[in-house]
Amino acid sequence: MTQQQKDFCMEVYRAAYSLYEENKAEAVSPRFTTAQAMLETGWGKSKIGNNIFGMTVGSSWTGRKKLVLTREVFSTPNKKFTYPERVVSVTKTASGYVYRCYRYFRDYDTLAECLRDHNALFRKKMYADAWPYRLYAKEFAKRIVDATGAKYATDPSYYSTMCKMIDLCNKIIDGRL
């Protein structure tokens, strides 16, 4: 564990906790949020500006965007994207198909803007079954990828990986690492 990794964890945690304190009724656990950012960015190494969750551009996004080479897992070998988003390669694995592809990602002005958008995502109706568990980091991670409601992540090992990240996050925040 490097000091840079610990610093990234604490930077995100402080910002996520601040957002949580602003409006607890509309916020996800700051520890879940921090662990999610650690996982999504490889401890800050692959963040896209202030986008620390790998949030792609959807049909309603009107802000800035950035085209980035990324890795995603899908259940089909025939996933299509609209140009300039495109597939570079597809590899079959035991858990699905790993795509290397160019995707548009949201390009936020600030970390706080990204955190607010991340929290807003989980308030959508498709995550209604998971929302009551939003303050319990591991249970929330489980609920957003289970068979009920929308599935947040394409990676089949998301939940077990998130549990490890939450444990590491807790150790750093609590000063045990």
Q: CATH number of the domain that 137 lies in?
A: 1.10.530.10
> Residue 18 above 90 pLDDT?
yes
Taking the C-alpha atoms of 174, 127, 84 and 86 in order, what is their torsion angle to the nearest 10 degrees? Answer: 80
Domain that holds residue 39: 3-173
Q: How far apart are CA 100 and CA 169, in angstroms?
A: 28
Domains held by the chain: number:
1
Residue 134's pLDDT is 96
Q: What does DSSP assign to residue 2?
A: -
Q: 95 is written with which tokens?
A: 């858990």
The pLDDT value recorded for residue 154 is 67
Q: What is the mean pLDDT of residues 26-40?
A: 95
DSSP E strand stretches across the chain? 65-74, 86-93, 96-106
Whole-prediction pTM value? 0.85
Residue 102 has pLDDT above 90, yes or no: yes
Among 77-86, 136-145, 148-157, the range scoring the smallest mean pLDDT is: 148-157
Percent of the chain whose predicted confidence (pLDDT) is above 70: 99
CA distance 5 to 45: 9
pLDDT at 157: 87
User: How far is the CA of 56 from the CAs of 5, 9, 64, 119, 167, in angstroms?
Assistant: 24, 22, 11, 15, 27
86-96: average pLDDT: 92
